[in-house]
Amino acid sequence: MSEFETYTAPPAEPNGPASSEEKQWALFGHLTALTGLFTGGVGNIVGPLVIWLVKKDTMPFASDQAKEALNFNITLLIIGVILLLITMVTFGIGAILTVPLGLLLGLAWLILTIVAAIKANDGVAYRYPFTLRLVK
C-alpha cells in the first residue's frame, strides 16, 4: 500500500465482540443515511453525524460505523457537487455524462449502505470503498 491510499483497517475490538445494543446502534448509523431520500439529501449527513456524536464516547463499534457512514456520505456529496458543476460549466451538455454517472452513484450508494448496515448488524466493521476519511 502506498502512503496516498485512504484505506484504514477496522479498529481493534477493545472489549471483545460488540454487544447486541452496540450492533443495533451501528446499524442505525448506516441506515440513518437513508433518511436523505426523504429530506432532500440533508439526512445523508445529519443522520450518521447525530449517531456518531451521541455514541462516540460510550460505544466504540457504533461510533466507528457511524463515522464511516458519515465519511462515505460526505464523499458522495463532494462527488455529486462536482458532477453538478461539470453540468453547469458545460451549459448542460455535460449532462450526457453526468446524469448516467449520478444515477450509477445513487444506485451504488443505496446498495453499499444496505450492505454496510447488514455487516454492522452482524458485528463486522464495514469499510466503504473509495471513501475519503475526512472525519477522524
Question: Rounded CA gap, 93 and 84, in Å?
Answer: 12
What angle, 0 to 180 degrees and rounded to 10, lies between the N-to-C axes of helices 60-89 and 95-121?
170
Tens of pLDDT, residue by residue over 79-115, are: 999 999 999 999 999 999 999 999 999 999 999 999 9
Average pLDDT, the chain: 88
Please indicate, yes or no, if residue 32 is contained in any of the structural domains: yes
Domain count, the chain: 1
Residue 8 pLDDT > 60 = no
**Averaged pLDDT for residues 48-63:** 94
Residue 89 lies in a domain: yes
Would 35 be classed as within a structural domain?
Answer: yes
CA distances from 60 to 26, 57, 89 (A): 9, 7, 43
| 28 against 42, higher pLDDT | 28
- Kindly state whether residue 24 falls inside one of the protein's structural domains: yes
Cβ atoms of 101 and 3 within 8 Å: the answer is no
The verdict on residue 71 lying in a domain is yes
Flag whether 3 is in a domain: no
Domain residues for 28? 20-121
Residue 136 — very low, low, confident or very high, per pLDDT cuts 50/70/90? confident
Name the residue with higher pLDDT: 16 or 21.
21
Contact 98, 52 (CB under 8 A): no
Note whether 116 and 128 are within 8 A (CB).
yes
Is 101:79 a contact under the CB 8 Å cutoff? no
In a domain, 87, yes or no: yes
Query: Residue 109 falls within a domain, yes or no?
Result: yes
pTM of the model: 0.84
Phi, psi of 19 (to 5 degrees): -75, 165
